Amino acid sequence: MKKLIGPFTQILSLTGLPLKGALQDEQLHIIPNGGVLVERGLILAIGNFNELRKATPSAHIEEITGQQVLLPGFIDCHTHICFAGNRANDYAMRIAGKTYLEIAKAGGGIWDTVTQTRAADEVSLVASLLQRANRHLAEGVTTIEVKSGYGLSLDEELKQLRAIKAASAQAEVKLIPACLAAHMVPKDFIGSQAEYLQHLVNHLLPIIKQENLSNRVDIFIEQSAINTENALIYLNKAKQMGFDITVHADQFTTGGSAVAVQTGALSADHLEASGDHEIELLADSDIVAVTLPGASMGLGMPYAPARKLLNAGACLAIASDWNPGSAPMGDLLMQAAVMSAAEKLSAAEVFAGLTFRAASALKIEGGILAPGLPADMQAYPCADYREILYYQGKLKPSQVWVGGEI
């Protein structure tokens, strides 16, 4: 059964835009009085509502009333929303002026969430993950990447990845799992950093393959986490096993982005510490530079050099990094809008970074509204798309569709 959804005051299809580099709003393809023809979850046609209605008189009409602007659903290509507990204690210490290392020493940091997540059973992890995923969906996010990385042992990483898989089967929103067992060397592992990573290669990654739990491997490259030498060895082995690579890079110090480029990673994420050399390296590669404004806000740190990355010709995506430590807020649109004012990003650049450029970081199709693609979309109650960033995240979508279903 065909269904015609509309009329929308404006449709931003985000089609016809380049994958890399700066964008101007004049490049956006805007369809006034638009409609979307949907069949079996896929977009059949998109264009003028009245013309589509004339051409397909048998289609059921899903009528849109009032002023509404339609966009592709957002794709959040970097989150850590599978966790238990919270780290309000870390935040209190941070705003009282304590450093990252002081907080870790006082029992905070990633290890605190590992302890809380290990204490939770799979059922409760699934429930809290679904709650966060559903909140994201209501805010227009139709695809979410979800990392493990709060288990840090074979059994506990598998528990997290199985929880993500179980949640994925129950959720309307699309979840894409990633293995972040290389988040840090767990405090209870007896052996060196290199031995921990080899242990993951020998024992964890094969089970992940076998159970089809994820085809993405992530790592936190940082002086306080995994060093560049060990990271290179680990990522090359994961790649040989057929995994796609993504990297937490240049968050506090540089080094990670070069490893990401060298290993042919899909994306290098964070980049707050990236300088001109790293920007050039990223812009000259096919990698997606993922900026995480929520982590800058949560830690009270500068944003990644998003404007410079785009000017240099990089592919820039924007993700929430939603996690209990550095980015507890998890409001992707709000974060992107606030960053765009500071970094001077055009609406076209922000929406591209939240949609088709983020899809490229996940190696998936989508993030545009075009025939043959899933009807994953969101409508905002306004007359002009520019109002969406103008209200800095307070204007929420009035409707969200996944596969053409509200």
Q: Residue 326 binds what, of Fe ion, ligand NIG, none (CB under 5 to 8 Å, by partner type)?
A: ligand NIG
Which residue, 115 or 236, has its beta carbon nearer to ligand NIG?
Answer: 115
Which residue, 22 or 185, has its beta carbon nearer to ligand NIG?
Answer: 185
Smallest separation, CB 218 to ligand NIG (Å): 9
Q: Are the C-beta atoms of residues 222 and 248 closer than 8 Å to each other? A: yes
* Cis peptide preceding 7, ω within 30 of 0: yes
Q: Residue 110 binds what, of ligand NIG, Fe ion, none (CB under 5 to 8 Å, by partner type)?
A: ligand NIG
Q: Which residues sit at the interface with Fe ion, rule CB under 5 A?
A: 321
Q: Are the C-beta atoms of residues 379 and 142 closer than 8 Å to each other? A: no
Q: Are the C-beta atoms of residues 217 and 205 closer than 8 Å to each other? A: yes
SS3 label, residue 301: coil
Q: Are the C-beta atoms of residues 43 and 374 closer than 8 Å to each other? A: yes
Distance in angstroms (rounded) separating the CA atoms of residues 43 and 403 = 9
Q: Residue 325 binds what, of Fe ion, ligand NIG, none (CB under 5 to 8 Å, by partner type)?
A: ligand NIG
Smallest separation, CB 405 to ligand NIG (Å): 32
Q: Tokens standing for 184?
A: 């840090």
Looking at beta carbons, which residue is closest to ligand NIG? 325
Smallest separation, CB 321 to ligand NIG (Å): 5
Which residue, 7 or 353, has its beta carbon nearer to ligand NIG?
Answer: 353
| 124 CB neighbour count, 10 Å cutoff | 12
Q: Residue 113 binds what, of Fe ion, ligand NIG, none (CB under 5 to 8 Å, by partner type)?
A: ligand NIG
**CB proximity list for 63: less than 8 A, separation 6 or greater:** 6
Q: Which residues sit at the interface with ligand NIG, rule CB under 6 A?
A: 80, 110, 113, 220, 248, 251, 295, 321, 323-326
Smallest separation, CB 340 to ligand NIG (Å): 20
First to last CA, the chain: 16
Q: CA neighbours within 13 Å on the CB side: how many for 35?
A: 26
Which residue, 10 or 335, has its beta carbon nearer to ligand NIG?
Answer: 335
Smallest separation, CB 288 to Fe ion (Å): 14
Smallest separation, CB 327 to ligand NIG (Å): 6
Distance in angstroms (rounded) separating the CA atoms of residues 118 and 148 = 12
